[in-house]
Structure 1
């Protein structure tokens, strides 16, 4: 697979950004002149002393006793996290990830009082469809890097120029290089409004939106808000579960009615999922108590890894990933996993990212009432496989529904080419509207 990024020179970034708003140069940084809605270029440059301090902290870790069971039922196993830590503290090279990030045009703009960091790559093809993609937890924009080139440069991947996208990938508030909210209120609803403002600020009058994990919550909210210009959404974690089914699954009891084969399978998956979300309940109730993940890199790594989705990424696959330097069949490598964890560490966003669970008060998989056009891809390793019957009820303007044969919860990260193909197919019916 070719994943060569579109590289913008400093001059190209300045020219592109100057078209969006006036700039004044300040030593050591680029600052926007005038209004708060200006857009300024951004690049990643973690000081070497912080990398050195990370390695020192890893080496000074005080380890717990070994688990009392022979499996991971008590959490990330000691031998697994110790092996990861040894590699992270000695051989892992953050600068490779930094260079990869800096291979894409990055920007920051203030929206609703908060700095929002985002990647913005325009396609070379005419009439490209503008697309904003939202990551989730315990992820970041690193999840989506592999889909940028296939989406913006489809002809290099055997697709048509007519399927090209302009791609915008923001870091959610409290995540990565975006600002950390200092007051309450930054949940998926507010993010949806912020993303609409971002696309407007970038000059897009018509666009589509995609999300998985928390990104799926954001695009559902955008679908409910239906801002001017939003043509439709794509989700790989659809919210389709009928109310009575959702309540029964959370209680762990038998389903309330006779279900089809697909519905019964989905119900069993939901019951299993709700039994494995202790991490989510902790963040939803006491995120500030997790202060230790801001102090211990190993503690942060263990917390981010213990995310047991049906596809096994990353928690169940981490042991084998520790020896994997090349991705096979969509499995993540140890460097890819550590790129994401390191981003959390260097930005000190372990706790600020967790607060998103506290902010949200709605259901996780229940139907939300979205009435704009929706495309859905069901991946086999997702927390539950949404049946077509539930999906059609939840999204009355369903324009695309497809079950694929591989990929899990981190679909863009695990299966970027398949994922990109799904976005091309899912949004194709809306292209005549741009």
Structure 2
């Protein structure tokens, strides 16, 4: 294994773009059943419109240039090819901050957030390190089995050490929140604090499979009943994507790697279902394109399989903890294991992807949390 850190430039061959456009032009479509809508998956009309824009209106070269305007690097850690952004602030007092995306996302999630962190109008600034999760987009191919959140956390700890950061903060949501919590738990001597984003739907969904979060919920309590109802709805109607990836990632992987329409639907449906504020469709299609061009739909599914079969979920971190709840209601505090002295912020709008939905409030909360921890 080499410890070398290599500069990286994203260059998708024109032949790959031509192939994508040809496949989209020749796509076969599942007819929409009369009287059905989003409750059965992304509707045909919505997907057709988005696919046509991907084929004829979306400017991949502009998005590629936007990504290449940020310093990108690759390295090898624990046998795995790792891609990451490393955007240093011009401010001499900037703090290092490791940020991790979740599912079904990519580092493109942070394109609007990063400038707000590296060059803020006021308040603390950050040197941002944003890796692509193993098996996702540019951190492919997946070198083998066993890439759980804990193994990823250990790889991130090694990455920050290679970059020369002795003290740093960590932030994430979804899978990235789990990885960030494990980084803080495993590297408390170097982590200044851990900041996690969540929302009411995600909190209830996570409580369905993470041991202990739903213990003690009372169906006769009005707030607890809302949580329990959301958990039931997720098990019944919302968890199919997770069930297939947690059990047969290879099978669904063939379709995700072979069909751009399936890869588009797989991601676009979640962006629609898990957001409250509008997301720029070019930013959505940047993530979809990264998954398509790298064939990472299958390998991302395999990492979800690995975590669902892992017993290592981590202990509570001993460093300061911060939580930002988007689309907040009274339910989240009931299931999120936040210590009494944790930083806690609530925002009325936004949900699962606040770095895309509401980057200004997210950046402000990161400054509010990490500022006193310098």
TM-score (norm 1): 0.78
Aligned to 2:267: 304
Q: Distance in 2 between matches of 1:164 and 1:297?
A: 39
Alignment of 1:87 with 2:30, yes or no, is: no
Task: For residue 236 of structure 1, give the secondary structure of its aligned residue in structure 2.
Answer: strand
Aligned to 1:380: 327
Alignment of 1:430 with 2:373, yes or no, is: yes
Task: For residue 133 of structure 2, give the secondary structure of its aligned residue in structure 1.
Answer: coil
Alignment of 1:131 with 2:97, yes or no, is: yes
Indicate if the aligned counterparts of 1:371 and 1:395 stay in contact, CA closer than 8 A.
Answer: no
Larger radius of gyration: 1
Indicate if the aligned counterparts of 1:124 and 1:152 stay in contact, CA closer than 8 A.
Answer: yes
Match for residue 3 of structure 2 among 3, 19, 37: 37
Alignment of 1:413 with 2:356, yes or no, is: yes
Q: Which has the higher contact order (CA 8 A, sep 6+)?
A: 2
Task: For residue 345 of structure 2, give the secondary structure of its aligned residue in structure 1.
Answer: strand
Q: Distance in 1 between matches of 2:274 and 2:175?
A: 21
Q: Distance in 2 between matches of 1:405 and 1:372?
A: 27
Aligned to 1:281: 243
Q: Distance in 2 between matches of 1:316 and 1:426?
A: 25
Aligned to 1:178: 139
Q: Distance in 1 between matches of 2:57 and 2:219?
A: 55
Q: Distance in 1 between matches of 2:274 and 2:120?
A: 33
Indicate if the aligned counterparts of 1:107 and 1:119 stay in contact, CA closer than 8 A.
Answer: yes
Aligned to 2:38: 72
Task: For residue 146 of structure 2, give the secondary structure of its aligned residue in structure 1.
Answer: coil
User: For this pair of structures, how many residues does the alignment match?
Assistant: 364
Shift of 1:90: 1.6
Instruction: Describe the shift of the 1:194–1:227 C-alpha distance in structure 2 as closer, same or farther (beyond 3 A).
Output: farther
Match for residue 149 of structure 1 among 112, 115, 122: 115
Instruction: Describe the shift of the 1:338–1:287 C-alpha distance in structure 2 as closer, same or farther (beyond 3 A).
Output: same
Alignment of 1:341 with 2:299, yes or no, is: no
Instruction: Describe the shift of the 1:401–1:266 C-alpha distance in structure 2 as closer, same or farther (beyond 3 A).
Output: farther
Indicate if the aligned counterparts of 1:399 and 1:426 stay in contact, CA closer than 8 A.
Answer: no
Aligned to 1:246: 214
TM-score (norm 2): 0.89
| 1:211-230 alignment, distance < 5 Å | 211-230=172-191
Instruction: Describe the shift of the 1:217–1:207 C-alpha distance in structure 2 as closer, same or farther (beyond 3 A).
Output: same
Alignment of 1:187 with 2:145, yes or no, is: no
Unaligned segments of structure 1, at least 5 residues = 1-34, 249-254, 308-312, 318-328
